[in-house]
Amino acid sequence: MKYTTFNQKNTDFMLEPMFFGNPVNVARYDQQKHAIFEKLIEKQISFFWRPEEVDVSKDRMDFQGLSDAEKHIFISNLKYQTLLDSVQGRSPNIALLPIVSLPELETWIETWSFFETIHSRSYTHILRNLFTDPSNIFEDIVENEEIKRRAADISKYYDDLIFATQLWQTQGEGTHEVNGETHIINMRELKKKLYLCMNSVNALEAIRFYVSFACTFAFAERELMEGNSKIIRLIARDENLHLTSTQHVLNLWAKGKDDPEMAEIAKECEQEARDIFLNAVQQEKEWAAFLFNNGSMIGLNEEILCSYVEYIANQRMAAIGLGQPFDVSSNPLPWMNNYLNSDNVQVAPQESEISSYLVGQIDAEVSADDFDEFEL
């Protein structure tokens, strides 16, 4: 079905599935099939922040004092996070917007991606402060084998879905040959690709960020690189919200509260979904090994970090009905939670409910006294 930017057909969005129904026309939020997505938009916008607001100047001195092993850990994590947010800043838009069918979900996807671009800009903000010229850091992201391996796995499911959607929207259902390769395009296959892609994104938001988060906060526990830590806290708060959204999508499907065919696919592909998650866990453990290959840092080593990955994977997998495959019952890094608590994220006056800071604030209370000085 050809994509149209304004579907001329009058559709009842209350009857549309989240994806692969009719394309959205009017961006209206007066009636919502899944109201949760508008609540997520509101919450996400209330989190708005700019990297420039966070002073990272003291980090430069801290960084000079780190050991080589610690510098390697710090910079490698920044590189990996840059990759993750580069992917997330564009892919939900490119992969999901062409197939989304609900206005509130469409706007959520755009809001979500926009916040990932704030994250990307903050990595440049951090690196510019540490290095006069950070260009070799960025260049290494596409050359570093450890990062490339992860990038391939993360982008694979997006790329698959994007390509199949393009074929479907230009050629329709059927068997198509492109560059000597045969592709079978039908709705079932498209929905399967969407399901696997959503699981891969969910695993990304659920665990892939957390190895880096743990290292950042381990530096902060030693009062090092605190500007960076403030930024990562803001990022972690956003990522927690993004994770909530992918958990909602997956559970709406699995519980038959959206497209009934997606409920079937969720059952059929459960093992594949689990494998996507377990594979991400494995890759994150390998990443932890790579981080510590020059030596550990105070408060953190490969073993503890791997057990934290398992712990958090248990939580995240249980949330989407995949059980708890790992034998870790208590949090090996309990201090992490202090950094992930939104109360501890500093709130600027203009973000809280002080009306004097609101732009264009109008006093809507009018009493009889207000006319005392008027004379006719």
CB of 269 to another protein, least distance (A): 19
Please report how close the Cβ of residue 240 comes to another protein at its closest, in angstroms. Answer: 4
Q: Please identify, using beta-carbon distances, which residue of 155 and 331 lies nearer to another protein.
A: 331
For another protein, the closer of residues 241 and 269 by Cβ is 241
Least spacing, CB of residue 99 vs another protein, in Å: 22
Q: How far is the CB of 255 from another protein (least distance, A)?
A: 9
Structural contact between residues 218 and 230, judged by C-beta atoms closer than 8 angstroms: no
Nearest Cα neighbor of 334 from 318, 312, 313, 316 is 312
**Alpha helix positions (H), 131-144:** 135-141
Alpha helices (runs of H) in the chain, residue ranges in sequence order: 36-46, 57-65, 68-91, 103-130, 135-141, 145-171, 187-203, 210-221, 226-254, 260-268, 270-291, 302-319, 336-340
Q: To the nearest whole angstrom, how small is the minimum distance from the Cβ of residue 196 to another protein?
A: 20
The Cα angle at residue 15 between residues 10 and 16, in degrees rounded to 5: 80
| C-beta of 41 vs 56, nearer to another protein | 41
Contact 11, 22 (CB under 8 A): yes
What is the length of the chain? 376
- Name which of 152, 149, 123 is nearest 138 in CA terms: 123
Q: Tell me how far, at minimum, the Cβ of 249 lies from another protein, in Å.
A: 9
Q: Where are the beta strands (DSSP E) in 146-216?
A: 174-178, 181-185
Closer residue to another protein, CB minimum distance, 87 or 336: 336
Who's near 208: CB < 8 A, 6+ residues apart?
84, 150, 154, 280, 283, 284
From residue 366, alpha-carbon distances to 58, 362, 372, 374 in Å are 50, 11, 12, 14
CA separation for the pair 254, 261 (Å, rounded): 10
CB-based contact 27:107 (threshold 8 Å): yes
In the set 3, 29, 80, 123, the catalytic residue is 123
- At closest approach, how far in Å is the CB of 213 from another protein? 11
User: Biggest alpha carbon distance in the chain?
Assistant: 86
Minimum Å gap between C-beta 251 and another protein is 5
Please say if 311 is a catalytic residue: no
Return the number of the residue (172 or 323) whose C-beta is nearest another protein: 323
| Binding residues for another protein (CB under 8 A) | 36, 39-40, 43, 237, 240-241, 243-244, 247-248, 251, 315, 319, 330-331, 334, 337, 340-343
**Segment holding 131, helix H or strand E:** none
- Per-residue DSSP letters for 101-117? --HHHHHHHHHHHHHHH
Q: What tokens were used for 37?
A: 């997505």
Name the residue among 184, 203, 192 with its Cα closest to residue 315: 203
310 touches 328 (CB < 8 A) = yes
The helix-helix angle for 226-254 and 57-65 (nearest 10°) equals 100
What type of residue is 358? L
Closer Cβ to another protein, 141 or 340, answer by number: 340
Residue 191 or 316 with smaller CB distance to another protein: 316
Nearer to another protein, 70 or 238 (CB): 238
Catalytic residues: 123
